């Protein structure tokens, strides 16, 4: 009797050979003589061409095929997901392209919120493509191309925001129209302005009475990271029609004056065009001013006053300011490195500073703009580090202090004509928390304010001459 395992094996071989040729192969299967032992069990010997059947190889092949199937299905699922994501990106890019094209080609004015929404959409797409790139195995040419398109879209939106000509010009047109309507209304009703008319450059008034709300001109050309600096308009008494504007954001350390720009008109400044950019690498702090085509500032790391020719961009003169504190000894509140604050009024050039002898109180000196000699000096009782900034109108110094993050107060004055000082209260609204510099221009009677990277202007109104404090 054959064993059960042997019988199964012979049957398997029989089926295999039959399925291949339709008949039994003698070389694979033959009859053999056997014998019966004492217990009646039949035994025989069978010789096969192969000593063993490759069962393990078959099982290994089946496992490999199963693994390959699973991996294929997984990769196929990823491809489907990537395809959907790509289609989504294509649609988003198309929508953004249409929005940007409309903003470029139409005359509609757009505000900051429009640009922020565009930036948010582009930012979300950037995050998605970054995640897609990190999870993708293999060639990423399409993803790289998509990432490049998103980067180009980001640059285009930023450029549109910085060169938003339509928005700036539309706002200016609206302001001019409103002013004209107000003027016509006053004339038609026969009403007189409650504030006296002061001719440009005149001091026929009783001092500053009030200040307008801020007018936001634009952000400085170097961007929001350059929070410290100054700006203004050159005052040249011999050329009252001159409209040279200057802009001097400090480096991000809030101290070093390295670059400044000049614009021949306000329109050029508004639109960031036709700027003359110079490098000076000498200024210390944001107390600079421009007078008669020269920039005056504190020379870096010294108590020297410096005079810079704007035509040649060269320092033509340096002179020490006697006893002046420097190197951030007595700067303004919340603004470092402004130990010297230059100012211009109807009569010429001034400098506001402190000395050790004055124990930090404000000292005012009238300066000869040609030789930088001190012509006269006044000592006040106002402590300089408690003041956020100052400006001078018709020989009267006005000091400002912060009230909160949105308001400042003109709270103190010193009249160099009478040596009289006292308290006043005129509220100034500001756009952002810190005012870095204030410059007065006698002809247009405006304050040019640098407020946390933004350029602002304010209009001043005056008391009648008999009402001087």
pLDDT at 469: 53
- pLDDT-derived band at 238 (thresholds 50, 70, 90) equals confident
Say if CB 110 and CB 164 are below 8 A apart.
yes
pLDDT at 256: 93
Instruction: Report pLDDT digits (tens) over 128-186.
Output: 667 666 665 555 666 666 667 667 666 766 666 565 555 555 555 666 666 666 666 65
Say if CB 389 and CB 437 are below 8 A apart.
yes
Rounded to 5 degrees, φ, ψ at 177 are -65, -40
Q: Using N-to-C axis directions, what is the helix angle for 55-105 and 112-135, rounded to 10°?
A: 160
pLDDT above 70 covers a percentage of the chain that reads 67
Whether pLDDT at 229 is above 60:
yes
- pLDDT-derived band at 386 (thresholds 50, 70, 90) equals very high
- pLDDT-derived band at 4 (thresholds 50, 70, 90) equals very low
| SS3 call for 96 | helix
Residue 269: which of 172, 393, 348, 178 has the closest Cα? Answer: 172
Q: Where are the domains of the chain?
A: 76-136+144-168, 205-464
The kind and range of the H/E element at 229 are: strand 229-233
User: How many Cβ atoms from other residues are within 10 Å of residue 228's Cβ?
Assistant: 27
Whether pLDDT at 55 is above 70:
no
Give the bridge partners for 216, in sequence order. Answer: 456
- The CA distance from 436 to 468, in Å, is 28
Class in CATH terms, 205-464: mainly beta
pLDDT at 182: 63
The overall average pLDDT reported for the chain is 81
- The CA distance from 294 to 316, in Å, is 9
pLDDT at 173: 60
- pLDDT-derived band at 23 (thresholds 50, 70, 90) equals very low
- The CA distance from 54 to 59, in Å, is 9
The residue-averaged pLDDT of 94-114 equals 59
pLDDT at 21: 42
Residue 405: which of 432, 377, 380 has the closest Cα? Answer: 432
The residue-averaged pLDDT of 191-218 equals 81
pTM tops 0.85, yes or no: no
Instruction: Report pLDDT digits (tens) over 407-450.
Output: 999 999 999 999 999 999 999 999 999 999 999 999 999 999 99
pLDDT at 35: 77
pLDDT at 143: 65
- The CA distance from 212 to 449, in Å, is 13
Whether pLDDT at 453 is above 70:
yes
């Amino acid at each position: 009797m054959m064993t059960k395992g042997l019988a199964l094996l012979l049957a398997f071989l029989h089926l295999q050979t039959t399925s291949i040729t339709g008949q039994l192969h003698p070389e694979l299967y033959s009859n053999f003589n056997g014998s019966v032992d004492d217990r009646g069990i039949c035994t025989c010997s069978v010789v096969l061409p192969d000593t063993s059947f490759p069962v393990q190889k078959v099982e290994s092949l089946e496992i490999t095929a199963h693994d390959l199937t699973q991996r294929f299905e997984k990769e196929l699922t990823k491809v489907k997901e990537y395809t959907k994501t790509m289609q989504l990106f294509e649609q988003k890019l198309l929508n953004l392209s249409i929005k940007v094209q409309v903003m470029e080609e139409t005359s509609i004015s757009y505000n900051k919120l429009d640009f922020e929404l565009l930036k948010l959409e582009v930012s979300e797409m950037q995050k998605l493509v970054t995640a897609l790139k990190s999870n993708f195995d293999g060639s990423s040419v399409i993803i790289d191309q998509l990432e490049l398109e998103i980067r180009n879209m980001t640059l285009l939106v930023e450029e549109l925001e910085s060169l938003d000509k339509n928005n700036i010009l539309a706002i200016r047109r609206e302001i001019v129209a409103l002013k004209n309507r107000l003027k016509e209304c006053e004339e038609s009703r026969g009403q007189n302005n409650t504030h006296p008319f002061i001719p440009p450059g005149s001091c026929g008034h009783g001092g500053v009475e009030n200040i307008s709300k801020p007018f936001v001109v634009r952000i400085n050309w170097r961007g929001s990271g350059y929070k410290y600096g100054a700006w203004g308009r050159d005052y040249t008494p011999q050329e009252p029609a001159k409209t040279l504007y200057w802009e001097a954001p400090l480096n991000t350390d809030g101290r070093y004056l390295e670059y400044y720009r000049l614009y021949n008109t306000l329109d050029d400044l508004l639109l960031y065009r036709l700027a003359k950019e110079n490098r000076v690498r000498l200024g210390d702090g944001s107390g600079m001013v421009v007078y008669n085509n020269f920039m005056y500032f504190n020379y870096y790391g010294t108590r020297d006053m410096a005079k810079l020719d704007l035509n040649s961009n060269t320092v033509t003169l340096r002179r020490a300011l006697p006893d002046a504190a420097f190197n951030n000894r007595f700067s303004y509140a919340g603004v470092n490195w402004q130990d010297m604050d230059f100012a211009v009024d109807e009569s010429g050039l001034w400098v506001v500073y402190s000395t050790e002898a004055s124990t930090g109180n404000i000292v005012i000196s009238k300066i000869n703009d040609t030789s930088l000699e001190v012509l006269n000096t006044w000592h006040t009782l106002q402590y300089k580090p408690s003041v956020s900034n100052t400006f001078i109108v018709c020989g009267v110094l006005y000091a400002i202090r912060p009230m909160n993050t949105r308001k400042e107060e003109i709270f103190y004055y010193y009249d160099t004509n009478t040596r009289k000082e006292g308290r006043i209260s005129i509220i100034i609204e500001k756009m952002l928390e810190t005012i870095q510099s204030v410059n007065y221009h006698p002809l247009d009677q405006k304050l040019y304010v640098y407020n946390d990277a933004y350029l602002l202007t304010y209009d001043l109104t005056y008391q009648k001459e008999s009402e001087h404090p």
